[in-house]
Amino acid sequence: MADTHRHEIDAHSGVSTTGHEWDGIRELNNPLPRWWLWTFYACILWAVVYWLLFPAWPLVTGYTYGVLGWKSRDAIQTDLAQLRAQRAVFADKLAAANLPEIEQNPELLAFARAQGRAAFGDNCAPCHGSGAAGTKGYPNLNDDDWLWGGTLEQIHATIQHGARSADPDAHVGDMPAFGRDGMLPRADIVAAADYVRHLAGLPPAADAQIDKGQAVFAANCAACHGPEGKGNPELGAPNLTDPIWLYGSDRATLIQTISNGRAGLMPAWKGRLDDGTLKALTVYVHTLGGGQ
Amino acid sequence: MATVNLIRAAAPQAVPPADDDAPLYEARRKIYPIAVRGTFRRIKWTLLVVTLGIYYLLPFVRWHRGPDAPSQAVLVDFPNSRFYFFFIEIWPQEIYYLTGLLILAALVLFLMNAVAGRVWCGYLCPQTVWTDLFQTIERLVEGDPRQRREKLKNASRTRRAFEAAAKHVLWLMVAWWTGGAWVLYFADAPTLVMQLIKGEAPVVAYVWIGILTATTYVLAGHMREQVCTYMCPWPRIQAALTDEYALNVTYRYDRGEPRGSFKKTEALRRQGLPGGDCVDCRQCVAACPTGVDIRQGLQLSCVQCGLCIDACDTVMKKIGRPAGLIAYDTEMNVQRRQHGEAPVYRLLRARTVLYAALIVLIGGLMAVVLATRGSEGLSVIHDRNPLFVQLSDGSIRNGYTLRLVNKLLVPRRFALSVEGVPEARLEVIGEAASPGADPVVSVGPDQTYEIRVLVSTAARLPAGASLPVAFRLTDVSGGETISVADHFKGP
Ligand code: SF4
Ligand code: SF4
């Protein structure tokens, strides 16, 4: 920068220069319009006023709160309250209607399914998966095979009280650990496993003893699963004749199931979710496609 | 070059002193243009009346569509997400028509620019039109610039204060009307006008009227040429788009120079010396709404309104010299004439042809798409999770979400069927199934309706099957059919 050019007027444009020069390129001094400058000052003023009114500056352990006391937390509370008020129109109807009524009213059904879907994503998806397809040990809720029954009432009860949960009304019914607890010798367990595969129409193992397995089944399993292995929703005993398996239908898994028992746990949601949400969840699960 | 000229022209006397005490800002030079008469002034009046007339009155034009739809010809219906334009109704998902319209608008702007420079700026831009209106009001109330100057010296303070107040009140009334007309495009105009009169209109209407009143008053009353010179991007863009054949308001210095008073130039001419046609009366400068001296050449702050042409033509007529000393012409032609060559005007050039062709192409495409669009719609999403469901009887089920669209203004019933899956069973959640028949779904007038559909089959599918399927939607009263393809997945 050379100061010698300070007072120069650019010959070409007739505009004075700022005196700044870089390798022979000189900066012209074209001032801003006045309103532009004022807008700039107004913005600075605005910023200062904003700092005083609203939360602005971070401090070591907190931040400046601003004299208006505005908090983003309060803002979201207000928004949520508004949202609840907006939803109340349908949410109240939902709480008042009984389950079949909800499914028959297209508006209520749409609302319940939307709310149920959201609630499912928040509460149920960790075990049953976001699409309710389940995984090993966690039932698929899209199909028509239900451990504890697939009618609206039964699904409602299961969601409210859970299975094997601490709720006094929870579903109870355990699959005993026939092997671990010494109730059956290993050979009987293997035979029973082969018989179960036979019930389901699955191809038998080469050394399968179907007759022996049938006898073991009749003596030990039929009480819960029924003489034909069709299951019993009162006890959460699955139907063993269909192609849907919660833990797996291969021989090794079945032997493991019979030896160590199974006792999947479904928590009780009554009290944790409000009644309207529980109904919405029920309708959502019921209308996934497998409801009875 | 243009920028340099601009600076000299906009503030010839405001060159700051060449030292560090120069002010941080450039003082605003208030511009009070004189009134002129002539062709371009008439064109501008006509366009002003037409454009403002359309803007202020269009919301009141009625267009009957039936009992379930608004009967306003042009309406942006935000609560129901619809845009109505006479016989056209645009849904939010058809926003591409707006994109097309914006592309068309840009191309028309480019074409105008290639033909005759800143036609938009000079005649059609709202900033120009409203500024013109506000300056006219200013002249009506406070008089033309000469009367103003006299009043500054002679008239009483009260008179001046009264006139200034009257001017601002009139400006605010126009501004308020402008904001008022704006909100009428977003609600039923007669109803909203009644609500506004009774003070029962929604708050948002008052807020927007307030905002537009303020912007109109500030931009047209106070900012004026500053908007064009400092704020608007178009002058910069158009300068990059133009070429040497584009017509611009041009001072024909080949004819005008050397300028001088009528007497002086006539005397020069009698002696056989060159004497230009420009009598240096500065009427062109006085008429210019942006304070430009067009005789310094094409410049950024000139919006090419043509008023200096009218001003100069009036002078030329008075002194008996031919009109058109300032005219729509090109710098190239001025130079050609100086060299004794014939001027060239070329309307058909690569860029004008290209712009015009693109306008026809895109406009035609939009018209065809608009004319052939169906009155019903269907979109299908296959469930992603799970892709398929194994049922207890061994059959396989797929879930889909379907959105049905009824663009007619009457309720309709659609039969839904699926093709491509052997032994397919189709079930719509929430609709009672009637065995043997396709499920029928009702969709209200001008509405969409989302349904969940389950398709299952007991047929044995090959491993990893993904069958192409088609959902078919048929208006049961014998109307259109539409089908959408998707897939059916198996284990
Ligand atoms: S120089 Fe002439 S054309 Fe340009 S803005 Fe001024 S009056 Fe209008
Ligand atoms: S109005 Fe025409 S004659 Fe008068 S100064 Fe302008 S160009 Fe020259």
DSSP B401-457: EEEEEE-SSS-EEEEEEEESSTTEEEEETTS---TTS--EEEE-TTEEEEEEEEEEE
Q: How far is B466 from chain A (nearest CA, A)?
A: 19
Averaged over B16-21, what is the pLDDT?
Answer: 51
Averaged over A4-9, what is the pLDDT?
Answer: 58
B36 lines ligand 1 (CB under 6 A): no
A202 CA to middle of ligand 1, Å?
92
**CA-nearest residue, atom 5 of ligand 1:** B302
Pairwise pLDDT comparison (A84 vs B16), residue with the higher score: A84
Q: Quote the pLDDT of residue A16.
A: 81
**Measured at the alpha carbon of residue B58, what is the angle toward residues B52 and B59, in degrees to the nearest 5?**
125
Instruction: Quickly tell me which residue has 């199909």 as its tokens.
Output: A143
Q: Which among B7, B385, B390 is the nearest to A130, CB-wise?
A: B385
DSSP H/E element including A47: helix A34-53
Q: Is B342's pLDDT higher than 60?
A: yes
Q: Quote the pLDDT of residue B18.
A: 47
Q: Do A33 and B24 touch (CB under 8 A)?
A: no
Q: Which of B308, B309, B310 to mutate to test the pocket of ligand 1 (most atoms within 8 A of CB)?
A: B308
| Low-confidence winner among A172-176, B105-109, B149-153 (lowest mean pLDDT) | B149-153
% of chain A exceeding 90 in pLDDT: 76
A109 shares contact with chain B (CB less than 8 Å)? yes
Averaged over B180-190, what is the pLDDT?
Answer: 95
**CA-nearest residue, atom 3 of ligand 2:** B278
Averaged over A56-83, what is the pLDDT?
Answer: 93
pLDDT band at B21 (very low <50, low <70, confident <90, very high): low
Beta bridge partners, A266, equal A163
Q: Quote the pLDDT of residue B16.
A: 46
B256 CA to middle of ligand 2, Å?
8
**CA-nearest residue, atom 8 of ligand 1:** B305
Averaged over A241-247, what is the pLDDT?
Answer: 93
* Mutation site, B4, B392, B460, interface A, largest A CB count within 10 A: B392
Averaged over B412-441, what is the pLDDT?
Answer: 87
Q: Distance between CA A141 and CA A122 in Å, rounded?
A: 16
Averaged over A115-138, what is the pLDDT?
Answer: 95
Tokens of B238: 């158009």
Give CA torsion, residues A150, A154, A159, A160, to 10 deg.
170
Question: What is the overall mean pLDDT for chain B?
Answer: 90
Complex confidence, ipTM: 0.78
B288 CA to middle of ligand 1, Å?
5
B192 lines ligand 1 (CB under 6 A): no
Q: How far is A34 from chain B (nearest CA, A)?
A: 5
* Mutation site, A15, A27, A135, A152, interface B, largest B CB count within 10 A: A15
Q: Which of B6, B129, B298, B303 to mutate to test the pocket of ligand 1 (most atoms within 8 A of CB)?
A: B303
Whole-Å CA distances, B386 to A87, A129, A181, B66, B282: 29, 9, 38, 44, 81
Pocket of ligand 2 (CB under 6 A): B 251, 256, 278-284, 295, 311-312, 315, 325-326
Q: Is B143's pLDDT higher than 70?
A: yes
Please say whether the beta carbons of B47 and B129 come within 8 A. yes
Three-state DSSP class for residue A57: coil
Q: How far is A144 from chain B (nearest CA, A)?
A: 6
Q: Is B14's pLDDT higher than 80?
A: no
Q: Is A4's pLDDT higher than 70?
A: no
Q: Quote the pLDDT of residue B3.
A: 39
Averaged over B292-315, what is the pLDDT?
Answer: 93
Averaged over B446-452, what is the pLDDT?
Answer: 90
**CA-nearest residue, atom 2 of ligand 1:** B308
Question: What is the overall mean pLDDT for chain A?
Answer: 91
Q: Do A13 and B25 touch (CB under 8 A)?
A: no
Q: Quote the pLDDT of residue B299.
A: 86
pLDDT band at A7 (very low <50, low <70, confident <90, very high): low
Averaged over A37-43, what is the pLDDT?
Answer: 93
Tokens of B89: 């109704």
Q: Which of B31, B229, B294 to mutate to test the pocket of ligand 1 (most atoms within 8 A of CB)?
A: B294
Three-state DSSP class for residue B15: coil
Taking contacts as CB-CB distances below 8 angstroms, the residues of chain B near A106 are 430
Taking contacts as CB-CB distances below 8 angstroms, the residues of chain A near B401 are none
Q: Is A53's pLDDT higher than 90?
A: yes
Ligand nearest to the CA of B34: 1
Encode pLDDT of A203-215 as tens digits: 998 999 999 999 9
Q: Quote the pLDDT of residue B385.
A: 87
pLDDT band at B156 (very low <50, low <70, confident <90, very high): confident
Q: Distance between CA B380 and CA B384 in Å, rounded?
A: 12
Q: Is A193's pLDDT higher than 70?
A: yes
Q: Quote the pLDDT of residue B11.
A: 41
A256 shares contact with chain B (CB less than 8 Å)? no
Q: Quote the pLDDT of residue B22.
A: 62
B279 CA to middle of ligand 2, Å?
6
Pairwise pLDDT comparison (A29 vs B1), residue with the higher score: A29
A290 shares contact with chain B (CB less than 8 Å)? yes
Q: Is A5's pLDDT higher than 60?
A: no
Taking contacts as CB-CB distances below 8 angstroms, the residues of chain B near A30 are 7, 26
CA nearest neighbour of B396 among A150, A249, A144, A203: A144
φ, ψ for residue B431, nearest 5 deg: -110, 130
Q: Quote the pLDDT of residue B157.
A: 87
pLDDT band at A268 (very low <50, low <70, confident <90, very high): very high
pLDDT band at B150 (very low <50, low <70, confident <90, very high): confident
pTM for the structure as a whole: 0.75
B121 lines ligand 1 (CB under 6 A): no
Encode pLDDT of B367-396 as tens digits: 999 988 888 999 999 999 899 999 999 899
CA nearest neighbour of B421 among B376, B394, B454: B454
Q: Quote the pLDDT of residue B12.
A: 43
